[in-house]
């Protein structure tokens, strides 16, 4: 049984003293779920409800017209919609896997290996957390151009693999791994990769799920890369395609398609989070304890 601000909390038995926590948490939960409900309701609103005044939160006469119009406009393009979907799936799946592997290896080196300059490298990674992508947009473009990645499919993946927040999160979890376990693995003849996979990986599973969600959102909803670096339409992603067709449409029809596009982009992220949310909660718990 744990205590919080002097109040005992038992997850298996509710006490009247816990009511004050529910009075705070339930309104917060309602506020957090309202944007999700709005996205779903907004996507199914007919035109008259989209422009109703005063605005209506819940849809009264749900319709699929917004999705039908979006599909009609998409079918008029030279590139089929399935191509954009395939590009997004390839970019997202490959990017998430590579991000977990690369940042996991980097974090393991910073947490458990001994080499000169390790502290400096971690400080550089920590400083990188303060910079937003727009602050380094020009520098990034120059580097990508020099590497010859402009109009290449790899430009969707390679620049986003090294996520500083992922390295930081992985390292914080790996620091909690007892050195005695790693030393025992080395005595038994295990290599560094075997130690990382069989000993460290099970301990950092919550962090892996959290990094997977963050990188999933980073790749799936990225339209700026296609806009900035890609000229070949067949190499662009679904996020760019949905953003471009809704921005090019007229104000009236564009609102409905924009609402449908927002739901299409949001739904996979929501499903991905639902299936991995327990691990994310473990990450938050460990962060709080630390």
208-225 pLDDT tens trace: 888 898 899 889 988 888
pLDDT class for 3, splitting at 50, 70, 90? very low
Nearest 5°: the CA angle 103, 106, 110 is: 135
37-86 pLDDT tens trace: 888 888 888 888 877 778 778 888 888 888 888 888 877 777 888 888 89
The whole-number average pLDDT for the span 163-179 is 87
CA–CA gap between residue 279 and residue 20 (Å, rounded)? 27
CA–CA gap between residue 251 and residue 238 (Å, rounded)? 21
Determine the pLDDT at residue 101: 93
Q: What CATH number does domain 79-289 carry, 3.60.70.12, 3.30.390.30, 1.10.3720.10, 1.20.1560.10? A: 1.10.3720.10
pLDDT class for 251, splitting at 50, 70, 90? low
254-271 pLDDT tens trace: 778 888 888 888 888 888
**Domain definitions of the chain by residue range:** 15-63, 79-289
What φ, ψ does residue 225 adopt, rounded to 5°?
A: -65, -45
pLDDT class for 90, splitting at 50, 70, 90? very high
């Amino acid at each position: 049984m744990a205590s919080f601000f002097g109040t005992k909390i038992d997850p298996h038995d509710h006490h009247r003293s816990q009511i004050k926590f529910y009075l705070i948490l339930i309104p917060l939960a309602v506020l957090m779920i309202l944007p999700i409900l709005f996205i779903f309701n907004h996507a199914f609103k007919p035109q008259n409800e989209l422009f109703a005044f005063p605005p209506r939160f819940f849809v009264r006469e749900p319709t699929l017209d917004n999705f039908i119009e979006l599909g009609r406009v998409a079918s008029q393009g030279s590139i089929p919609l399935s191509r954009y979907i395939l590009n997004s799936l390839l970019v997202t799946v490959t990017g998430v896997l590579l991000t977990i592997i690369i940042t996991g290896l980097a974090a393991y080196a910073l947490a458990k290996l001994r080499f000169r300059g390790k502290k400096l490298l971690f400080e550089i990674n920590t400083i990188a957390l303060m910079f937003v992508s727009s602050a380094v947009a020009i520098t990034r473009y120059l580097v990508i151009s020099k590497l010859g990645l402009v109009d290449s499919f790899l430009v969707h993946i390679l620049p986003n693999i090294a996520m500083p927040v992922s390295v930081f999160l992985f390292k914080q979890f790996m620091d909690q791994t007892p050195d005695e376990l790693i030393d025992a693995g080395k005595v038994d003849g295990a290599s560094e990769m075997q130690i990382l996979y069989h000993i460290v990986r099970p301990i950092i599973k919550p962090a892996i799920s959290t990094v997977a969600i963050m990188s999933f959102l980073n790749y799936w909803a990225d339209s700026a890369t296609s806009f900035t670096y890609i000229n070949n339409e067949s190499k662009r992603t679904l996020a760019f395609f949905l953003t471009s067709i809704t921005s090019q449409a007229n104000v009236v029809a564009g609102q409905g398609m924009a609402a449908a596009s927002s739901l299409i982009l949001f739904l996979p992220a929501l499903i991905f989070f639902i299936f991995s949310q327990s691990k994310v909660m473990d990450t938050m718990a460990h962060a709080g304890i630390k």
